[in-house]
Chain A
Amino acid sequence: MAEEVKLFGSWASPYTSRVKVVLKLKGIEYENVEEDLSNKSPLLLKYNPIHKKVPVFLHHGKPIAESLIIIEYIDETWKHNPILPIDPYDRAMARFWAKFIDEKIQPAVWKTLLAGENEREAAIEEAHQLLKTLERELNGKKFFGGESLGFLDVAGNVVVWLEVSQEALGMNLLDKEKFPILHEWCQRVLDDDAFKQVMPPKEKLLAFTRARFEAFLGPK
């Protein structure tokens, strides 16, 4: 029943989008609560008092925060169409690389945006090396999950969003000449049915990214 499952999120948040993709892949009905992140609802603050962030997943009135933790919960609760691999070692690898994306790649990308003139080149080089390391993990596969989207492809959506929105930031960090394999993977992900239904329209995302970047750093 849809009323038992609620997702508090924002259309502009790739972390919210991760959860939406998984819900779509599993065909789980839910109520979507769109949050205005500049004016967070009392319910959001009640359900995630620690971090006060989206996404927050509510099932039978019980809240869960942090996108990857939510996805593991969904996978363990609705066991059809598993998102994580079955084998414990493959699961460990999927978790390892998802963590790598969130804890290494994401901060490195931010660093390139915030770096001053002198540090920018080094920051870009670091981000490139990390992206190359991730790219190698594809290792000839269609998706990180094999023939279809898996946990790591879903976690990797931030890389896909980077590819789509980087022009709004005046950068070409994920250069398709430098990262042909990652670029092709991005295209396959963008072409996936579930992903397509959840991805915000490109122009809307570009406009939002541009505005947010300028608000953060001042207009260029």
Chain B
Amino acid sequence: MGEENKVTLYGMWASPFVRRVKIALKIKGIPYEYVEEDLRNKSQFLLQYNPVHKKVPVLVHNGNPIAESLIILEYINETWKHGRKILPEDPFERAKVRFWADFLQQQFLDSLCSATKSREEAHEKAMKDVFKKLTVFEEGTEGFFPNGSPHFEGENLGFLDIVLCSLFGSHKVGEEALTMKIIDPERHPLVHSWVTAMNELPVVKETLPPRDKMVAFIQSLRGNSLD
């Protein structure tokens, strides 16, 4: 493959942000080279392609690097116009999914990290925050599925679906690692049925990190910050 149209994704196996890009590339059927980064020893390429944040994911297309997962998703949507659209065509629908994707992005990461790395009171507080915001999300997106439960034909995941899937899709893995419920079908029925429906799709299953490895990883994140 020459430089023309070459796509390279720099990532890390456990990163939910990288997973978003993998899902999008798969949905669009875009062939790419994947480069696994050791985040404790970042490659010169990563540092060259994302000097500002030095993070994954970075997508390099025709030698041009793009960083930040949501920005990469928008780029993919605008560059490969064939096949499934990742963002809705209607500007208002688009604004809605951008708003809620931004909400997911901004509101949960701190609390989820905090919950992973703390115990007892601090942990309780962080999870309470997560649940409260899940309720806001649940109520705000109620109208998105007028035909009832979320249902995905083929692999028609969109921008917001991908973000939700990357954040809470593997909730069962997190629940096993932290021995607690994160997505409770009684407390958050819409989110639960939403991620469950997505988890059935091949494109989602194929981008799942290995389960045992993930459980161990989350537990080590927790273990390294306690004691």
Contact = CB atoms under 8 A, between A and B. Distances in A.
A95 B74 contact: yes
Given A69-B98, A70-B95, A88-B78, A96 B103 contact: no
21 contacts: A50-B103, A50-B140, A59-B92, A64-B99, A65-B99, A66-B99, A66-B102, A69-B95, A69-B99, A70-B95, A88-B79, A91-B74, A91-B75, A92-B74, A95-B68, A95-B71, A95-B74, A96-B67, A96-B68, A99-B68, A100-B52
Interface in B39-56: 52
Interface in A108-166: 133
Given A73-B91, A73-B95, A77-B91, A89 B64 contact: yes
A34 interface: no
Given A50-B140, A133-B52, A92 B75 contact: yes
Interface in A83-107: 88-89, 91-92, 95-96, 99-100
A59 B96 CA distance: 13
A92 B92 contact: no
Nearest to B97: A69
Looking at chain B's contact residues, is the secondary structure mostly helix, strand, loop, or mixed?
Answer: helix
Contact of B98 (A50, A72, A100): A72
Nearest to A65: B99
Interface string B78-109: 11000000000001101100110011000000
A184 interface: no
A102 to B, nearest CB: 10
A178 interface: no
Contacts of B71: 92, 95-96, 99
Contact of A72 (B61, B72, B95): B95
B66 interface: yes
Contacts of B91: 73, 76-77
A62 interface: yes
A62 B93 CA distance: 10
Given A64-B92, A72-B95, A133-B52, A91 B102 contact: no
Contacts of B72: 92
B74 to A, nearest CB: 7
Contacts of B30: none
Interface residues of B, number: 22
A96 B66 CA distance: 8
Contacts of B66: 89, 92, 96
A99 B66 CA distance: 13
B136 interface: yes
Nearest to A77: B91
3 closest Cβ contacts across the A-B interface? A88-B78, A76-B91, A92-B75
A77 B94 CA distance: 11
A50 B136 contact: yes
A62 B91 CA distance: 11
Contacts of A99: 68, 71
Contacts of B78: 88, 91
Contacts of A96: 66-68, 71
B74 A64 contact: no
Contacts of A69: 95, 98-99, 102
A142 B103 CA distance: 34
A64 B92 CA distance: 8
Interface string B100-126: 001100000000000000000000000
B52 to A, nearest CB: 6
Given A70-B95, A72-B95, 18 more contacts: A50-B103, A50-B136, A50-B140, A66-B102, A69-B95, A72-B94, A73-B94, A76-B91, A88-B75, A89-B79, A91-B78, A92-B71, A92-B72, A92-B75, A95-B71, A96-B68, A99-B68, A133-B52
